Amino acid sequence: MALRLLHAALGAMVLATGLARGAPLDMSQYHLSFQDDFTHPDITAHGGPGGRWIAHTPWNGDFGNDVFDDPGSGSAFSYSPQGLTITARKDAPGKWHAGLISSVDKDGSGARGFAQQYGYFEMTAKLPPGAGVWPAFWLEGVHKKKGTSEIDIMEYYGHAPNKYHITEHYWVNGHDTLGAWHVVTVPGNVLATQYNKFGVSITRKYMTFYFNRIEVWRTPTPPEYNQPMYLLADLAIGGGWPYNKLVSPVAMTIHSISAYNTLH
């Protein structure tokens, strides 16, 4: 009962912060294909039984000015009725430890996990305050023979608490051949004080990005994105911005991550 009441309260908070920028998302055209409310541990270090997520990128490359922790006691990951909390901390020698989750365990043949072509992808989360925090929710294409398709649904830099970035990337030999981006400005500091929904609907023709299920940007779908995509979310530190004044610890709470297929 308490958990149902919490879900209802979170939904009310999300709706209250919607931006009147564009059309609301019509969820009647979708059906659920993936859902994680993080009610119990389901993250492994690199894949295996009992895990829907791995705690590293499938290409085994950490990034930012931190180390991504494996799950376990004392790690960056903890669970509560609110969902999954990823906490970034500085250790005694001064190194930051943070966390990432990926829905696919590796790139290439033999990969296991969730990936989907087209549909709607969404994360409900509360972001951490503080200059130097760098949380994100993003998609990666499974086909990487020619290049890497990446959609940053939400990329947030803590020194600018009233905005986040949406970016399209297609990486070829380290060079971004797309680099299209859009900045979403939100009221006050709602990103850090309450839960919000960050989502994207992908069709063969268009990608439509949503904040609290209100449209904030629409752009043609690059041909490189016409493939299955897997899910990633993380709390990293730095990202090219100063983090020397950031006080440890800082935390991001993910209430849920979902994906939907279209009914048509």
Joined tokens for residue 244: 């020397």
Dihedral of alpha carbons 156, 158, 159, 162, sign: positive
Q: What b/e readout covers 107-117, taking b as 16+ CB neighbours within 10 angstroms?
A: beeeeebbbbe
Closest CA relative to residue 219, chosen from 22, 33, 17, 18? 22
What pLDDT was estimated at residue 264? Answer: 66
Give tens-digit pLDDT for 187-246.
989 999 999 999 999 999 999 999 999 999 999 999 999 999 999 999 999 988 899 999
CA distance 17 to 2: 23
Express each pLDDT in 54-80 by its tens digit: 999 999 778 999 999 999 989 999 999
Q: Tell the residue number behind the tokens 């209100």, with chain if given.
A: 214
Q: Would you give the DSSP letter of residue 28?
A: G
Q: Is the pLDDT of residue 1 over 50?
A: no
User: What's the pLDDT tens digit per position in 30-51?
Assistant: 999 999 999 999 999 988 777 8
Q: How many helices (H) and strands (E) does the chain have?
A: 2, 19
Specify the pTM.
0.92
CA torsion angle 120 126 130 135 (round to 10)? -30
Beta bridge partners of 120: 201, 260
Percent of the chain exceeding pLDDT 90 equals 81
Length of the chain: 264
Whether residue 142 has pLDDT greater than 50:
yes
Q: Which domain holds residue 19?
A: 2-262
Tokens for 157, please give them.
């830099």
Phi–psi pair at 214, nearest 5 degrees: -110, 130
Number of independent structural domains in the chain:
1
User: What is the domain-level CATH number for residue 78?
Assistant: 2.60.120.200
pLDDT: which is higher, 232 or 19: 232
